Every structure is written in structure tokens, then in C-alpha cells.
Amino acid sequence: MPVAPPGYARRVSDGTLMRLLEVVRRELGADDARIELGGRPPSDPHLLWREITLGWRLVAVFAGDPPNRDALQQRLDVLTASFADLGHPDLSERIGGARRAVAQRRLDDELHSLALRVGAVRVLVIDDRSPVVWGTSEERGTQDDIETAIAIAAATEEAERVGFSPEQWVEAEPETLAAEIARRGCERSLQLRLENLVRNLRDASRRRGRLAWGHHLLAMRAVAAVRRAIEAGPGGRAGHLKLVQRNDRFGYFARGFASIYAIILVYEGRFSELHAEAALLQALPLVERLVLALPSTDPPPAGGKLVRLPR
């Protein structure tokens, strides 16, 4: 039964969960402690457990039979009750969020490894309908979505037509930036779009500097191009997609998988299509499993939600 008093509304914190598990392990002399959902109650004699709420259980794991089982069980009951946060129904949401973050990180890290193997500046996974960027080899920004990518791509293509490189001016003072754009004889509406592009670009990539900002622009152009190609194709589905774009300054290789998804390898120039495809085909079974392990409805967490360990 729930341990929280009626009307208790404080949200469960990740710190509370981790603190409880550490206290249980230490105070009971257990080898490990975990929280689990569903299934039959544990029958292993090496385990002690207590139901928290709504099917969730707190389990202490011992290397052998717990010494003085009754006393340790009472101690576990007291410890669980002392962490009243866990009685709130939003426990499942919090634990589900943690699992989602782990699954998202595994996918993003695999895409990062693939990018290193093929010499791509970015590898991304999108689908053929939703606004979600499901995976990215670059650490996530606060606005990683298809709509933003399309808008950035359109502005970048306009900038290219007037010979303006946005990534070169990210650190410029606003007055200097405005003067540089105006010098190119742009219409006022285009001047404003380009100024806005440069301002937003500073926050678009977690890595800093012109190279990282330039890579982000290439990635957004590739995402927009692939989405346009999918929408223009038979049935608007990504499953059988295969696209290749190569020139001296920009290229990408895209391939559909799992009926609705597309993986995109982005390059800053010409690349070997054979090398890219071979490496992609080798990585794709794992990438597909990781993508399908993600939740099917909620977008992946945006910037600040995931922390990638240093490489």
C-alpha cells in the first residue's frame, strides 16, 4: 500500500531514489538494492523486499541468506516508510524517465561512434512524420527538432546565395553583424532572418567555435533535405529511402530503416559512398534496436536533460 500521507504532492526526486537505495544497501549490509515494477513478488531467499506503491517494490539483494531475516525485514520497512516521497504515484514517471534517458544516451553514443568510424561531422536519426530528432551524435541543443532544422536550412541557403557565412559571425557584436549583412545589399526582411540565424546559432551546438557551428548548419540542411525527399516520395514513408548528396562543401548519405525511420550521415565535403554505406549497414542492426527501444510517443529529452560522459 502507498506510504505517502493523503494529499502529499511533492514530486519524487532522482536524488531521493538514489539516496534510498544507498541507505538500504548500507543499513542492511546488502550487496545491492534496486527498485522494480510488476511481475510476481520475489521468492529468492537471498532477497528482501517491500512494496512501495502501485506495483513498485524496493528490493535488497544479499550474497547469501540474509542473517536475522525478520529484523532486517523490519528495518527495511522502517527505511522505506521514512522516504515518503516514494508513495507518490509519479514514481513510475520518474523511473520511466530515467530509463528513457539511459536508452537515449546509448543511441546517441552509438551514433557518435559511427560518426567517428565514417568521418562524418554528424549522424542523426529522424522519422518520416513527427517533429522529433530521435538520435544525434552531437550533444543535444534546446531546439533539436525538424521544424527548427527546416527553418535553419532555409536561412542558411539564403545566406549562401548572398555569400554570407553565419558561423563566421557568431561572436561578432550586434552592430558589426548588422553592418556586415547590410553591406551585402540584402532586403530588410532577409537581413533580419540572417541576424536571427546567427543569434540562434550560438546556442545550437553544445560544442563551441566556428567549426562546430558550421557542422550544425550542415546537419540542419541535411535533415531538411531528407525530410523533403521523404515527403515527395511514394507514400511519404522512409522505409526504402536511399539518398546521396556529394559536393565540395556539403554531403550526406541517408538510408531508411524499420519502415518509418531514416539515418543520416552528414559530411563537410566529398566522401566515399561505399565506405559510408558499408559502415552504416554494419551498425544499423544495433541502431535499429536502440531506436525501437525508445518511447514511441514522447520526444527525447532536450538540452540539459542528458549528460554524456567525457570521451
The tens digit of pLDDT for each residue in 65-103 reads 998 899 999 888 877 776 545 545 555 566 556 667 778
- Look over the chain and give the mean of its residue pLDDT values, rounded to a whole number: 80
Buried b (16+ CB within 10 A) or exposed e, 197-223: bbebbeebbeeeeeebbbbbbbbbbbb
Domain ranges of the chain: 14-89, 94-292
Cβ atoms 123, 263 nearer than 8 A: yes
- Compare 205 and 219 and report the one with higher pLDDT: 219
Beta-strand (E) ranges in the chain? Answer: 32-37, 47-53, 56-61, 122-127, 133-136, 242-246, 251-257, 261-267
- Looking at residue 190, its pLDDT comes to 85
Which residue type, as a one-letter code, is found at position 6?
Answer: P
- Compare 162 and 117 and report the one with higher pLDDT: 117
Using DSSP's 3-state secondary structure scheme, residue 52 falls into strand
pLDDT band at 4 (very low <50, low <70, confident <90, very high): very low
Answer whether residue 147 shows pLDDT above 50: yes
pLDDT band at 9 (very low <50, low <70, confident <90, very high): very low
Answer whether residue 124 shows pLDDT above 50: yes
Residues near 174 by beta carbon (within 8 Å), at least 6 away in sequence: 195
- Looking at residue 299, its pLDDT comes to 47
Cβ atoms 94, 14 nearer than 8 A: yes
Whether the predicted model's global pTM rises above the 0.75 cut: no
Could you tell me whether strands 122-127 and 242-246 are parallel, antiparallel, or unpaired per DSSP bridges? unpaired
Q: What angle do CA 36, 109, 243 make, to 5 degrees?
A: 120
Q: Give the separation between CA 165 and CA 157, rounded to whole angstroms.
A: 10
Q: How many CA atoms are closer than 13 Å to the CA of 17, on its beta-carbon side?
A: 22
Is 3.10.20.740 the CATH number for 94-292? no
Secondary structure letter of residue 265 according to DSSP: E
